[in-house]
Structure formats: structure tokens, C-alpha cells
Structure 1
Amino acid sequence: MYRIWVTDLGTCPRRIQLRYQEVEMLPPHFYQLKGEITHEAIEQILRGEEPTIEADEEVKREVEKPLSNFQKWLESTELDISGAQYELKLEMPVPLSTPNSEEYVLVGKLDLITPNLIIDFKTGTAQRRKEHKIQLVAYKILAEHNKVAKDPRLVNVFLGGKEPKEVEYTNEEIRKVESEFYDLVNEHVGMLEAIKRGMKMPCQISFKCVYCPFVHICRGY
């Protein structure tokens, strides 16, 4: 079974190809490392532990603000997070009936989940971006398939501004992006099947290329 991570849906086709081919990846970019360390510290705090940050001083300085905002949010939120599970990894068969779809598994790691709520923390400033909605919809589908939530509220908590900000998505917003989620899964599986047949995927050039773990291999052509 090949595992498709929710966070890879809709990403650069070349990146999808190189990941599938198990090309050696570069160490995480500074901003990716910042996000990973912040999430690890958040999990420790939620578990009632003192966060331990093992990183150089520059990274430590960068995570101070989002962690401070997380503490503010934790002390002020009206969301009920009692009994929550943290960094919960969930899997399910790819929700498609296309040829060879049984060879793929959809995987996601949920920052915080209760039976009625899914929260995804972001270290950036508040933005109602479609990719954030699709990510949360994917987590909802995973959670409901695994029977750990039913019709949960979907919330982003942004930790990068002056103050933490909650963004909850309406049922209408969720319905609008659900079909796009299935389209992305279908597209992703289609690319993987093409890669198996030897097709080379195009590079989707953007500012995100500087963060790509395959930038040492791919030159955009």
C-alpha cells in the first residue's frame, strides 16, 4: 500500500513524483522546521508537559511568538477541548472507485480532535485559504471513517499575528470544498499511476520551490 498524506494533496506534480520514487530529501527548510518544532511544543503543552525545544537559537527565537500566542489562546478559548487527542494519525482506504485505487491509503495527522471538534494549528497569520479548508475537510473524512468524530466543527487557530485568531468554517464552506477534496485525491492517484508508467511530471514553479526538499534535484524543467 502506498500512503498519500493529506498535506501532499494539490502539491507540485514533480514533488509528488520524486517522493513516490523515494529520492533522497534535503533536511527541512528553516520555516518548515519552525512549524515542526512549534507543533511538537504545542503537543507537549497540551499534555501538561514543559516544552523542550531542541534547536539552535535562531529557530528558538522564531518559535517564541507562536508559542506565546498558543498559551494566550489556550487560556482564552471558549472551545471545549476536554478529552481531546493530540497529533492523532489516522488512515483510510483512498475514497475512490477508480482502477488500482485499492493500492493507496490516505493518511493524516490531526493536531487536536474531540468527537465534536477538529483543530489545525497554523504558525502563520490568519487567512481563509482554500488549502486550509481542504486539509480540515480531509481530516473530517478521516475522523468520521475511523469513528473518532461525527460532524465535527472545523477550526484553524492561527498563531503568527499579534494575537491568536480562531477561524471556524461554516457548513456551507465545508460542502463547497468537499467535492474539490475528492477531485484532488483523484488527480493525485492519476499522477501516481502515470508515474508508474514512466511519465515525467511537470514542475509547478512557485515561491514554494525554495522550501522544497527536492530543490537539489529539480531545476524547474
Structure 2
Amino acid sequence: MRIAVAGGTGRVGAHTVELARARGHDVVVLARRHGVDLRTGSGVTGALTGADAIIDVVSIDTLDAKKSVEFFAATTKALLDAAAAESVPHHLALSIVGIDRAPEGYYAGKLAQERLIQNGPVPWTLLRATQFHEFAAQIYASARVGPLHVAPKMRTQPVAALEVAERLVALAEAGPSGRVRDLAGPREESLVDMVRQYARARGSRGWIPAIALPGALGRAQRGGALLPGADADLGRQCFAEWLAEL
């Protein structure tokens, strides 16, 4: 198969590219460093020539709902328009567990992305996954109050990014499947504990206070709205095992 990976240089995208190539697929990476701008659509149509599937794992680093919606609307429309023009038979996108129960901030953009794909001209598959183990590192780097690192209170069931990539490649091979079973990690964790454990593993001994984020999103995170349902598929690697490999 010829598989186009949108966002193929990112956390999940890089794993996806590597695994797809290891399985013998011809992979094209859709990213600016490869001459493709998904926001403007520049270079997308030509890059999709002969593609059998698109794996869409693009992302943006924002908590602003308006910016998130604008980003995912632009990138998804560019992919759908180009896929239709090149008769690509499958658009597969990665989304997030529980976003319809907390349609705020970044998640607002992901919901917009899902709706565009579901109502678009290309046969589709949607996989929702929980937060990755790497989420702890991301929060440690970005969540600060003055000189202090802080950890938002959140119930989560993190999954290995590599296992998400494995599932994406398998779904691309399977063909359009609609909304498939959610994918989550093997057990529930506290994001506060995850951030603190990550900090200790990298040698930091500073105090990391727990904070409750305001608004509907904060309530959803603390209340477990972003946890998987009983019918979700569970991954293999837990957070402690991932941390031990750093």
C-alpha cells in the first residue's frame, strides 16, 4: 500500500511512519519539512497521488478553542479536498477519548475534525485514544506558575504512543471502518502522580503542587469524563514501564 501520513514527524506520526515502512508499505510524509503545508493546502494534492490511505495525526499546541477549530478545519478540509481530487479511498484519523463529553479548548477542534471527516466525501475511519504516556512530559514542560512546575488534577488512562501507531497502521490496512473501538492504556493513573514521577525520573526534586483547572474542562478532567468506557481496547504498556525505559 501507499500510505500518506499527515503529521508524520510528530510523536505518533514518527512511530506510524516507521512501523508502516517496516511492514513494507510505501509511505509519504505530509509535513512542512517535506514540502507540504496542510494549513494552506500547498503541495497536498500532488503528495497524495496514488495513495491508498491517509493516516491523519496532525496536531497543534494550543488550549484555545478558536485556534484549535480553525487549525483542524483548515487541515482536514485540505486533506479531504485533495483526497477527493486524487480518488484516495480511505481517510483514517486519530482523535481523543471523551471529547464529546468535554467539548472545550483543544477538544473543540478535534470534534470539528471528526464531523468534517464523517460528513466528507472520502470513506473514513476514526480511532479515539486516551492521552499518551508522554503527556506527563508535555505537562511538566508547559504547565508553570511563575518558577513552579504544576500538575493539573486529572484522571487518565494513558496509552503508549507506539501502540497507537500500531493500531493506526493495522486500521489503514483494513480499509474504511467508521468509528472503531477506543484505545486506552491498561490502567487508570493520576496525572498529578505521573508528572511528579516523570520529574523525579529526570532528576528534579522540586515541589510540584497539584492544581484544579477551572471551568467545564477542569471538571471533566477531575471527574473522569475523559476515561474510556468498558468496551475500549486496552494497550499493553503501563506508565511505570514506559518511565523505566527513559
TM-score, structure 1 as length reference = 0.26
Higher relative contact order (CA 8 A, sep 6+): 1
TM-score, structure 2 as length reference = 0.24
